[in-house]
Amino acid sequence: MSKVVECQLCKKKCQLVEGQKGDCRVRINLDEKLQTLVYGNPCSVHVDPIEKKPLFHVLPATGAFSIATAGCNLHCKFCQNWQISQRSAEETHNYDLPPEKVVSEALRNGCKSIAYTYSDPVIFYEYMYDTSDIAHRKGLLNLMITAGFIEEKPLLDLCPMIDAANVDFKGITEEYYEKMCGAELAPVQKAIVTMRKQNVWVELTNLIIPTWNDSEKDIQQLCRWVVDNVGPDVPLHFSRFWPRHQLKNLPPTPVETLSIAWEIAKKEGLNYAYVGNIPGHKGNSTFCPKDGKLLVKRIGYQVLENNIVNGKCKFCQSKIPGIWS
Amino acid sequence: MWKMCSKVPKKFVKNKEMKKENKIFLLFISLAVTMLIGVIVQNVVSVTKPKTVQLQIDVNKVKQEIKEAGLIPKEALHWKEL
**Residue of B64, B65, B79 to mutate, interface with A, max A Cβ within 10 Å:** B79
Do B74 and A154 make contact, defined as CB atoms within 8 angstroms?
no
Instruction: Report pLDDT for A203.
Output: 98
How far apart, in whole angstroms, are the C-alpha atoms of residue B61 and residue A190? 40
How far apart, in whole angstroms, are the C-alpha atoms of residue A88 and residue A153? 26
Closest by CA position to A24, among listed A114, A121, A102: A121
How far apart, in whole angstroms, are the C-alpha atoms of residue B45 and residue A20? 28
- Are A133 and A41 within 8 A, CB to CB? no
- Are A184 and A178 within 8 A, CB to CB? yes
**Residue of B55, B68, B78, B82 to mutate, interface with A, max A Cβ within 10 Å:** B78
Q: Per residue of chain A (325 residues), what is the pLDDT tens digit?
A: 689 999 999 999 999 999 999 999 999 999 999 999 999 999 999 999 999 999 999 999 999 999 999 999 999 999 999 999 999 999 999 999 999 999 999 999 999 999 999 999 999 999 999 999 999 999 999 999 999 999 999 999 999 999 999 999 999 999 999 999 999 999 999 999 999 999 999 999 999 999 999 999 999 999 999 999 999 999 999 999 999 999 999 999 999 999 999 999 999 999 999 999 999 999 999 999 999 999 999 999 999 999 999 999 999 999 999 999 8
Do B81 and A28 make contact, defined as CB atoms within 8 angstroms?
no
**pLDDT top residue among B47 and A55:** A55
Query: A60 to chain B, minimum CA–CA distance in Å?
Result: 34
> pTM for this one?
0.86
Beta carbons within 10 angstroms of residue A163's beta carbon: 23
Helix (H, G, I), strand (E, B) or coil at A42: coil
Q: Spell out which residues of chain A touch residue B76, defining contact as CB-CB under 8 Å.
A: 7, 9, 27, 33-36, 125-126
Do B77 and A154 make contact, defined as CB atoms within 8 angstroms?
yes
- Are A8 and B78 within 8 A, CB to CB? yes
Instruction: Report pLDDT for B49.
Output: 80
How does pLDDT run across B2-19, given as a tens digit for each residue?
Answer: 555 555 555 555 556 778
Helix extents (H) in A168-304: 174-176, 185-197, 216-230, 255-267
Strand A164-168 versus strand A201-208 pairing type: parallel
Instruction: Report pLDDT for B13.
Output: 54
Cα radius of gyration rounded to whole Å, chain B: 33
| DSSP result, A88-112 | -TTTS------HHHHHHHHHHTT-S
Please state the φ and ψ torsions of residue B80, each to the nearest 5 degrees.
Answer: -145, 160
| DSSP result, B8-56 | S-SS----SS--HHHHHHHHHHHHHHHHHHHHHHHHHHHHHS-SS----
**Residue of A21, A126, A149, A152 to mutate, interface with B, max B Cβ within 10 Å:** A126
- Are A149 and A74 within 8 A, CB to CB? yes
**pLDDT top residue among B21 and A20:** A20
Beta carbons within 10 angstroms of residue A70's beta carbon: 29
Residues in A 1-20 with any Cβ partner in B closer than 8 A: 3-9, 15, 17-20
Using a CB–CB cut-off of 8 Å, the residues of B that contact A are 55, 57-59, 62-63, 65-66, 68-82
| DSSP result, A192-217 | HHHHHHTT-EEEEEEEE-TTTS--HH
Q: Spell out which residues of chain A touch residue B68, defining contact as CB-CB under 8 Å.
A: 90
Please give the DSSP secondary-structure letter assigned to residue B69: T
Considering only CB atoms, B82 lies closest to which of A4, A18, A153, namely A4
- What chain A residue is nearest to B76 in terms of C-alpha separation? A35
To the nearest whole number, what is the mean pLDDT of chain B?
A: 84
